């Protein structure tokens, strides 16, 4: 615990920021004059299992009083499925407590100082008769509506922007292999590449090169090869300090590296601002991260570039820890009763999805099939023949399973006209230059990927003609990815980034017929003009007319031998 002041009253608000270096937790009253602050170990959502996530939160819960509302911002949290993982883990440590989950970038942008006290708006303050000062509501409201863009440069880099009404934009954040422009890592890496490049070209080992060898305790340039093979991201980023020191001494190579880094950061920040505001509008750029906050000369260079490229820019540093943004959001959660904006039919698409048409679900109808129809699904029912499965001999269990599988072909045969219709839709798509896209989660997704992968060697089909998309991506093919199937936004985005269009046919596979990932994908495909087919094993599925796919194939194969284990009969029927 790094700082402690007595906290005794209700309500209490807990803000938690989890990053690659440390986790910071702050518990405060409504007016944060008294607070508890604690530090814990690092945490990145992408590197933790669900059990590890709970164990990471547990020491925080044990060391602090129970809060009224919690906000957790975590590195690696990108999707709604990620946020749901955080909320689910938090519920095990703080049951019944309002919880808002987000990423560490949102915390930082909320933690930025208000512009009301910025010199640009000093003239709007009026003297109050009692000796204080005040600002008229219309002025404070206008200032509060100025978009913010976080310009973050530490070990990595990213730009994240947000408007007053919740619209967001992100540029960067792709990691050190794909992105991190203008970051400590890129500065260090460019320094390494530059010193060996000039050594090759001029046969002279530069002063910057001498600094790097001294820093790394290496004796000659060739030693850099082995070091680079072993070095991690943080090791390379640590070399940025030597580049800044060399720049202070007038080193030309260091100057060129940092000039490029500053232009990269400013360029990304401007790109982010353009997605939130009209060119020329007032935008607050918030400088954050170790590189920008610990290197004021470099920060000033970035600031000048921002003002040159965006004349109405207001550039401020992030003066307090990002965790205070979590505290501020926790207070908002309490004020709004914990209202959380969840994915809805009209928010399934990112602003870049220009191919999506106006949603047909803006008529007040439920986007997903009803829960009642899920309860009636044979996939969720108990099979009376397998109630005593655990008491059967191995031979009897085998006979039972094979006997149950005999029901599959007749059930499929009942749907033969719909299957014929589906085949004709797919053939027509191929003739028009379109594609067949399978999409599913778990076993359903794996079977789609399997069928797509078998088409090129079996039928000599072009590799892209038949494609499979599975919730959770590549790793989900061989490993269970919890919560991935519950994210309709991810399904919609998968359709968007595969470039689905009116020539294509998208087949959603969902045994129960209600998988959110699949419905998000089908909805997106329908908006983009593609033909849509749902393959499920729930003949009782209730789908609103406006959200109904072009074709629904729903054989009744009956309850599974193992209740709910749809990799059995439903999986076999899917393959057939």
Kindly give, in sequence order, each residue whose CB lies less than 8 Å from that of residue 246, ignoring residues fewer than 6 positions away: 207, 208, 211, 253, 254
Calpha distance 142→412 (Å, rounded): 62
Match 């194969």 to its residue by tokens: 557
3-state secondary structure of 273: helix
Q: Return d(Cα 213, Cα 192) in angstroms, integer.
A: 10
How far are the Cα atoms of 206, 230, 429, 451, 510 from residue 553, in angstroms, in the given order?
A: 70, 54, 18, 18, 11
Backbone angles phi, psi at 437, to 5 degrees: -120, 115
Active site residue 485: yes
Q: Is 454 a catalytic residue?
A: yes
Which distant-in-sequence residues (6+ apart) come within 8 Å of 50 by Cβ?
85, 88, 89, 482
CB atoms < 10 A from the CB of 410, how many? 11
Tokens of 211: 């600094």
> Is the Cβ–Cβ distance between 555 and 394 less than 8 Å?
no
| Terminal-to-terminal C-alpha distance of the chain | 60
Residues 454, 479, 482, 542: which is the catalytic one?
454
> Can you tell me the distance from the alpha carbon of 491 to that of 58, in angstroms, rounded to the nearest whole number?
32
Q: How far apart are CA 180 and CA 144, in angstroms?
A: 30
| Whether the Cβ atoms of residue 479 and residue 509 lie closer than 8 Å to each other | no
User: Measured in whole angstroms, how far is the alpha carbon of residue 104 from the centre of its chain?
Assistant: 11
Residue 345 CA neighbour count, 13 Å, CB half: 22
The label of the residue with tokens 């547990």 reads 58
Rounded Cα distance, 227 and 403, in Å? 63
Helix (H, G, I), strand (E, B) or coil at 58: helix
- Catalytic residue of the set 17, 29, 404, 485: 485
* Gap between the Cα atoms of 33 and 64, Å rounded: 17
Peptide bond into 476 cis (omega under 30): no
What is the rounded CA–CA span in Å between residue 512 and residue 566? 9
SS3 content of the chain, % helix, strand, coil (to 5): 50, 15, 35
Q: Report CA 384 to chain centroid distance, whole Å.
A: 43
CA distance 297 to 302: 9
Nearest to 384 by CA among 556, 568, 561, 564: 561
Rounded to 5 degrees, φ, ψ at 316 are -135, 150
Edge-to-edge order in the sheet of strand 313-317? 168-172, 157-162, 148-153, 283-288, 313-317
Rama region for 429: left / alpha / beta (φ>0; ψ in -120 to 50; rest): alpha
What length does the chain have? 576
β-pairing, 133-135 vs 505-509, is unpaired
Active site residues: 454, 485
């Amino acid at each position: 615990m790094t700082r402690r002041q007595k906290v005794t009253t209700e309500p209490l608000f807990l803000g938690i920021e989890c990053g690659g270096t440390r986790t910071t937790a702050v518990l405060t009253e409504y007016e944060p004059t008294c607070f508890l602050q604690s530090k814990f170990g690092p945490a990145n959502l992408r590197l933790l299992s669900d059990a590890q996530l709970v164990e990471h939160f547990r020491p925080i819960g044990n060391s602090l009083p129970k809060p009224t509302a919690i906000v957790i911002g975590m590195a690696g949290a990108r999707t709604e499925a990620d946020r749901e993982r955080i909320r689910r883990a938090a519920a095990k440590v703080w049951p019944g407590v309002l919880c808002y989950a987000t990423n560490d970038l949102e915390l930082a942008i909320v933690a930025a100082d208000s512009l009301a006290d910025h010199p640009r708006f000093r003239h709007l303050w009026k003297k109050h008769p009692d000796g204080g000062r005040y600002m008229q509501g219309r002025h404070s409201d206008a200032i509060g509506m100025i978009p913010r863009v976080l310009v973050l440069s530490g070990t990595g880099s990213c730009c994240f922007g947000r408007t007053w009404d919740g619209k967001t934009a992100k540029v960067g954040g792709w990691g050190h292999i794909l992105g991190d422009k203008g970051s400590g890592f890129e500065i260090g890496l460019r320094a390494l590449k530059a010193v060996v490049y000039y050594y090759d070209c001029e046969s002279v080992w530069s002063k910057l090169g001498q600094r790097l060898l001294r820093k790394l305790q290496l004796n000659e340039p060739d030693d850099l090869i082995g070091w680079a093979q072993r070095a991690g991201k943080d090791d390379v980023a640590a070399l940025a300090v030597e580049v800044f020191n060399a720049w202070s001494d007038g080193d030309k190579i260091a100057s060129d590296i940092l000039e490029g880094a500053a232009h990269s950061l400013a360029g990304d920040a401007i790109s982010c601002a353009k997605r939130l505001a009209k060119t020329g509008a007032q935008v607050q750029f918030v400088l954050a991260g170790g590189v920008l906050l610990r290197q004021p000369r470099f920060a000033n260079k970035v600031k000048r570039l921002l003002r040159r490229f965006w004349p109405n820019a207001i550039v401020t540093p992030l003066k307090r820890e990002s965790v205070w943004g979590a505290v501020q959001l926790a207070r908002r959660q309490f004020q709004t009763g914990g209202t959380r904006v969840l994915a809805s039919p009209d928010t399934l698409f990112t602003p870049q999805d220009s191919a999506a048409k106006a949603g047909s679900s803006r008529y007040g109808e439920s986007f997903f099939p009803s829960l009642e129809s899920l309860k009636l699904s044979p996939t969720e029912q108990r099979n009376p023949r397998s109630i005593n499965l655990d008491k059967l001999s191995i031979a009897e269990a085998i006979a039972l399973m094979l006997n149950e599988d005999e029901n599959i072909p007749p059930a499929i045969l009942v749907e033969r006209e719909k299957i014929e219709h589906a085949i004709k839709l797919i053939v027509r798509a191929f003739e028009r230059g379109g594609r067949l896209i399978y999409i599913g989660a778990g076993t359903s997704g794996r079977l789609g990927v399997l069928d797509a992968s078998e088409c090129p060697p079996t039928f000599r089909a072009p590799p892209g003609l038949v494609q499979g998309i599975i919730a959770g991506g590549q790793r989900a093919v061989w490993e269970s990815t919890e919560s991935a199937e519950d994210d309709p936004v991810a399904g919609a985005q998968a359709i968007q980034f595969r470039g689905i269009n009116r020539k294509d046919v998208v087949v959603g596979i969902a045994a129960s017929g209600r998988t959110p990932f699949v419905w998000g994908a089908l909805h997106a495909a329908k908006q983009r003009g593609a033909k849509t087919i749902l393959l499920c094993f729930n003949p009782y599925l209730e789908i609103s007319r406006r959200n109904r796919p072009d074709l629904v194939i729903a054989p009744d194969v009956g309850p599974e031998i193992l209740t709910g284990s749809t990799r059995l009969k439903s999986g076999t029927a899917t393959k057939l």
